[in-house]
Amino acid sequence: MPDAYIPRSDHRRSGPGARIQRPDRWNRPEARLLSPRSRIYRSVPVSGDVLAAARVLLAWDGTAYGGWQLQPNVETVQGAVERVLAQLMDRDRVIARAAGRLDAGVHAEAQVVSFAVMSRRTTRELFRGMNGLLPDDIACLALSSAADGYDPRRENCGKTYRYRFLVRENRCPFRRTRCWHLGRALDLESMRRAARWLLGAHDFTSFRASGCTALHPVRMIRSIELDLVGDEVHLVVHGNAFLRYQVRIMAGCLAEVGLGRQPPEWMGAVLAAADRNRAARTAPAHGLTLERVHFWSALDWEHGEDPGARSMRADVPSFALGNR
């Protein structure tokens, strides 16, 4: 049986560079507390029917949350999920890791989250328990066991986001937390011409918010779709990774073109400038939804289902292949 987790503060050393000495009592199968002080779970021994890790597919309405990541004095999705997991597994904290961070007010239709398990509960019990305890605006769509140490942030190969513009004159109270109300029609053809400048691998500094912690601003945009859906215009962006606020700044710039305030070629100038001040305003968060996290192989689920399951698209919209 692999060794149980050892808190860094309890490492025993006999001298500089000496090997860590693990007390025998921490290697016993019956040991349930991974730290004698904190009971915060990070890694577990695999024994009998005890799961090593699990992954879940979550959907949430981001209106009431300050984003995914834990923040002081702010309710977040991660905080709500971890409280439920801690309750189910009788721990002070169970750390949940998502495939990517989402900002305050942004929604998710299919976010993949993993967590380590130190419990005799079955995957079925965890699935039912999460849906029974999570708040109404967060749902566990599917759950499955996973390899110890599984991290969806490292394993995914891309994400798809959808941004919704409401283009009718009157506001819609039922979509006020789902769409950016512009109140007038957008020139779709001009927006599509502008979007071509964003396809491929580029330095997206102009579309990067301050405070972004990414190591570099180069990102690959694989496809961009712009369609009229009833009285809404939908912007769907698929890429390998995104900078902070990148999709929302792209949406803000495309809105400027669609409203006739800028020509399509302006997008190329903004991109080449590598200057955030050259781009348009950041579109409101409530219009953005994480629609899909892509993996090289389709994820299988033991309980529940992925209602929007589909393989990563290899095709690119026809307008994305045209000349600039």
- DSSP assignment string, 195-225: HGGG-EEEE-GGG--TT---S--EEEEEEEE
pLDDT attached to residue 270 = 97
Query: How much is the pLDDT for 34?
Result: 34
> Which residue reads 């698209």 in tokens?
313
Residues acting as catalytic residues: 103
Average of per-residue pLDDT across 195-219: 94
Tell if the pTM clears 0.75, that is, is over it.
yes
Per-residue pLDDT tens over the stretch 224-233? 999 999 999 9
CATH for the stretch 157-300+314-321: 3.30.70.660
211-223: per-residue pLDDT in tens? Answer: 888 899 999 999 9
Is the pLDDT at 98 greater than 50? The verdict is: yes
**pLDDT reported for residue 94:** 92
Any idea which of 31-35, 294-298, 312-316 has the lowest mean pLDDT? 31-35
Q: What is the mean pLDDT of the chain?
A: 84
More confident residue, 119 or 78: 78
Q: Can you give the residue ranges of every domain in the chain?
A: 32-150, 157-300+314-321
The H-or-E segment that residue 268 falls in is: helix 266-273
Average pLDDT over every residue of 73-86? 96
User: Mean per-residue pLDDT for 145-154?
Assistant: 91
Buried b / exposed e along 168-195 (16+ C-beta atoms within 10 A) = eeeeeeebebbbbbbeeebeeebbbbbb
CATH topology for the 32-150 domain: Alpha-Beta Plaits (3.30.70)
pLDDT confidence tier of residue 193, bands split at 50, 70 and 90: very high
